[in-house]
């Protein structure tokens, strides 16, 4: 069973923000911003590559509700999902990073020339 499935089953403790029948949101253990929450589906999906549009419809509302719950909906926030090796995905269970609580940096994200493929 993957790490996030263990969190869903409460075998590994987490600080839960919001939970419903299909999704759960909890604080990232290594926050990269004052607010750093992970939103995941309760059924195991490897990555964004494999998610259905039906599940994404529910996830969209769930993430909107997280932003309201922690009061970052008006001040602004960022939603990120890392996919595969180049995306930097470490946990192979679909998750959306919800980052906010301060003005977020937007920096150069790769070591190679960003214009190399233009």
Burial of residue 109, with CB atoms counted within 10 A of its CB: 0-12 exposed, 13-18 middle, 19 or more buried: exposed
Return the one option of Zn ion, ligand 5GP, none that residue 88 interacts with (CB less than 5 to 8 A, by type): ligand 5GP
Contact 46, 92 (CB under 8 A): yes
Known catalytic residue at 95: yes
State which residue, 26 or 67, has the beta carbon closest to ligand 5GP.
Answer: 26
| Ordered alpha helix ranges (H), the chain | 3-8, 53-69, 84-87
| Contact pick of 54, 90, 107, 112 for ligand 5GP (by CB under 6 A) | 90
The active-site residue, picked from 44, 93, 95, 108, is: 95
Stretch that binds Zn ion, among 9-17, 20-28, 36-44, 109-117 (CB under 5 A): 36-44
State which residue, 40 or 67, has the beta carbon closest to ligand 5GP.
Answer: 40
In the block, tokens 């190399």 appear at: 116
Q: Which residues does 110 contact at the CB level (< 8 Å), separation at least 6? A: none
Return the one option of ligand 5GP, Zn ion, none that residue 28 interacts with (CB less than 5 to 8 A, by type): ligand 5GP
1 near ligand 5GP, rule: CB under 6 A: no
Closest-CA residue to 94 (of 25, 26, 18, 40): 40
Please identify every residue annotated as catalytic.
95
């Amino acid at each position: 069973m993957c790490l996030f499935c263990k969190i869903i089953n409460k075998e590994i403790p987490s600080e839960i923000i919001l939970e419903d029948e299909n999704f759960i949101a909890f604080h990232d253990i290594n926050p990269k911003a004052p607010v750093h929450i992970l939103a995941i589906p309760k059924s195991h999906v490897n990555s964004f590559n494999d998610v259905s549009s039906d599940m994404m419809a529910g996830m969209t509302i769930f993430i909107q509700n997280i932003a309201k719950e922690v009061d970052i909906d008006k001040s602004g926030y960022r939603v990120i999902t890392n996919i595969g090796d180049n995306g930097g995905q470490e946990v192979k269970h679909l998750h959306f990073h919800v980052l906010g609580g301060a003005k977020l940096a937007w920096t150069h994200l790769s070591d190679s020339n960003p214009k190399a493929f233009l």
